[in-house]
Amino acid sequence: MKSAVYDHGRFMQILSVVPPNNPIDPVSKKLTLLMTILVGAMAAVLVIAQSGYTRFNSELSMFLLSEHADKLRQISDPIERDKYSNDYNSEARGLDKILAPDARVFCSDMLGPTNSPKLGYYFIIRNYLFPRDVEISLGTNLIYRESGFEGTPCDSPAVLRTNGFDFLINYDRQELLPLTAKALK
């Protein structure tokens, strides 16, 4: 087994902008040219997409983003502004406004592989209700797997109240249920 020997001269040559003494072989020249063409083509595609001339009139075009930003600037109420962009954010901000700062919130029907598509809503709720405690499982046995979260489900108001929760959100039934008097401001 050969041991690696540190060659300071070779190291400096690799780091320097001065090309080495040996000429670049034809394969490297072709690869460099190909990569330059690919980067240029990708840059051209991005410029065309951002200028608003896409076939699908993409929402990501600079023109439409600018128009969207102008409309958002005219809305002063944060809840209405979120509603213009994303209803989930608007609902979460609305909950933040009415819930007590120390309310414990439980989101039911978020466990298991069949419910994993709804987890985005749970993460939005956690974000907007921070620093409140927002849970999707009773106890401390919540485990994240590739297919979603595993834990102890519950949608019984009595059991949740017994476990110290103040508010229940049931995404499937579109239900917001205060469990205790201290849940709301």
Mean pLDDT of all residues in 157-172? 89
How does pLDDT run across 35-91, given as a tens digit for each residue?
899 998 888 887 766 655 544 455 555 666 677 777 888 888 877 777 777 778 888
* pLDDT class of 21 with cuts at 50, 70, 90: low
Q: Which residues of 57-92 are buried (b: 16+ CB within 10 A; e: fewer)?
A: eeeebeeeeeeeeeeeeeeeeeeebbbeeeebbbbb
* pLDDT class of 105 with cuts at 50, 70, 90: very high
